Copies of this chain bind each other. A is one copy, B any other.
Amino acid sequence: MEKFPDKKTLQAAFERVQQYAHRTPVLTSDTMNRLTGAKLFFKCENFQKGGAFKFRGAVNSVFTLTDEESARGVATHSSGNHAQAVALAARMRGIPAVIVMPESAPQVKVNAVKGYGAEVIMCPSTLKDREATIAKVVDERGCEFIHPSNDLRVIAGQATAAMELLQDVEGVDILAAPVGGGGLLSGTSLAARYFSSSLQVTGCEPARADDAYRSYYGGTLVMPEHPDTIADGLKTSLGSNTFPIIRENVGAIVLVEEDEIIEAMRLVWERMKIVIEPSSAVPVAALLNKKIDAAGKRVGIILSGGNVDLGKLPW
């Protein structure tokens, strides 16, 4: 276990990230307040570069490297937002990037990564194959591996979304974020620890991919068992860094059902007129269905991203 990011590390990440990322807006909605009985503040990472918060962690990681390290390039494995985020961040620094993607990845995502100039290596879709392939790439080329969630540089980068929110909104009582690999939730919980006094951070997870919930309450890191949720960004598991950070700094993890996620996602599109992906709808679903005791409270919500296939909507 490495040393967790401290307050100075988060502040340095903040300085770094704000040079490259959008400072995303915080939206409010009378309708959503009325439906939840709380005062909600939506941090819109769907408006972030690459369409998701993932760009923060990627750009923090890529620009933390020394010139010597960066010359050998970066590598990661991801089928989704992290792949595009690392490719884009590498292009911004002008260094090579290798992205290992599962053969099951949609062609449009593969093309997007290639469009940023990254090299794509396809591999079978199992986690084992992914890890073997990335290990080989890193070994052969000496490039820097940037894990999608467990990398401490990534965690510090993801913390900057909550840091911005806490600068923009006073008196937040609760911060709600989705949890998959735990990079966002870890970063959010560290931001709350260092930059607020009495804030509870709540992780929100699909019941059909409840490994973080079971790990958090069971006290032992467990892997997902056949995760099967529309929130495809949340199928991954906690890691050696994210698990202890979350155990120590998060106040609760709550679960939501698939129909609750879809309903919350549609409601946000209809009433707030913004496009969010299913993972973003998970904390919204938790609030709408009173899985979080938020009555009368001021609640920040990290809307993690807005990358959806408009041709395949779940309603």
Contacts and interface: CB of A to CB of B under 8 A. Distances in A.
Interface string A266-277: 100110111110
A200 interface: no
Contact of A273 (B266, B274, B313): B274
B266 A310 contact: yes
A44 B25 CA distance: 13
Oligomer: number of copies: 2
A182 interface: no
Contacts of A47: 27, 272-273
B313 A270 contact: no
Contacts of A315: 310-311
A60 interface: no
Interface string A178-212: 00000000000000000000000000000000000
Interface residues of A, number: 19
A22 to B, nearest CB: 10
Nearest to A273: B306
A52 to B, nearest CB: 10
A260 B1 CA distance: 54
Interface string A254-290: 0000000000001001101111100000000000000
A160 interface: no
A249 interface: no
A46 interface: yes
Given A25-B25, A275-B275, A270 B46 contact: no
Contacts of A275: 269-270, 273-275
Contacts of A27: 47
Given A51-B273, A310-B315, 18 more contacts: A25-B25, A44-B273, A46-B273, A266-B310, A269-B275, A269-B310, A270-B275, A270-B310, A273-B274, A273-B275, A273-B276, A273-B306, A274-B274, A274-B275, A275-B275, A310-B313, A311-B315, A313-B313
Interface of A: 25, 27, 44, 46-47, 51, 266, 269-270, 272-276, 306, 310-311, 313, 315
Pick the 5 closest A-B CB pairs, nearest first: A273-B306, A273-B275, A46-B273, A269-B275, A274-B274
23 contacts: A25-B25, A27-B47, A44-B273, A46-B273, A47-B272, A47-B273, A51-B273, A266-B310, A269-B275, A269-B310, A270-B275, A270-B310, A273-B274, A273-B275, A273-B276, A273-B306, A274-B274, A274-B275, A275-B275, A310-B313, A310-B315, A311-B315, A313-B313
